[in-house]
Amino acid sequence: MSIEHHPTDSMLAAFAAGTLDHGQHVVIATHLLSCSQCRTFMRSIEKVGGEVLTGLSPASMSNDALAKVEARLNEPVRPAAADTAPTVPETEVPGLPKFLRRYRFGNWKWIAPSVHLRPIILPYASETRVFLLKSGPGTKMLEHTHTGIEMTCVLSGAFSQDGGHYGPGDFDLGDETIDHLPVVESGQDCVCLVAMQGELRLNGLIGRIIQPFVRL
């Protein structure tokens, strides 16, 4: 199965430039893990970074800058922290990059019939909230609008949207101008990694009823 839906070129470029919000970085990294095509483009943007760097007009360094650094070359290097065991093994949630599996994951919470949410606690301040969203086969994902950007990467299962098929590795972007209504395909649960910026507003009757209980 091949990946059909990708982040935009400018999102991949922002990833390589290191200017993405951490929550969004996490979702793009997850897509990159399964998409070698986007990975290649991202790596060439790093080369563009090298070109931009070498093309800058130099700032003047302090007179003793080189001497100061040379004096430190023989300093012992602190060994890198030992790899901590992943909190969420690949077998439990497939398709996550290694670094993400070491973050703290909250518990699954029920948010609507056959829809569950599991928050991921980011170690750094972020403008986006990141969570796993699990929806049962045939579920219409909650109709909602948001004030910011929402990035989604499918981890397992699949959903359909606007005639398109979204399977593992596929990426989807939502913003205030897009009115998405994804429906989970039959057969198995669909688990997505989502980074959501801004406030979530659930639409529809059920949404309005459960809104006060859903702390997103």
Give the footprint of another protein on this chain (CB under 8 A).
Answer: 8-10, 12-14, 17-19, 21, 25, 29, 32-33, 36, 39-41, 43-44, 46-62, 65-66, 68-70, 72-73, 77-78, 80-81, 97-99, 123-125
Least distance from another protein to the Cβ atom of residue 14, Å: 7
Q: How far is the CB of 171 from another protein (least distance, A)?
A: 14
Distance in Å, CB of 48 to another protein, minimum: 6
Helix (H, G, I), strand (E, B) or coil at 161: strand
- Separation between Cα atoms, residue 6 and residue 3, nearest integer Å: 8
CA pair distance 194, 111, nearest whole angstrom = 15
198: exposed, middle or buried (C-beta count within 10 Å: 0-12, 13-18, 19+)? middle
207 — alpha (psi -120 to 50), left (phi > 0) or beta?
A: alpha
Residue closer to another protein, measured from CB, 18 or 212 = 18
**Strand spans (E) along 80-213:** 104-105, 109-112, 115-121, 128-135, 144-146, 150-156, 159-161, 164-166, 171-174, 183-184, 190-197, 200-202
- Give 9 or 199: the residue with its C-beta nearer to another protein: 9
Nearer to another protein, 176 or 201 (CB): 176
Beta carbon nearer to another protein, 61 or 209 = 61
Nearest approach in angstroms of CB 73 to another protein is 6
Shortest reach from residue 148's CB to another protein, in Å: 14
Nearer to another protein, 91 or 107 (CB): 91
Instruction: List the beta bridge partners of residue 173.
Output: 151
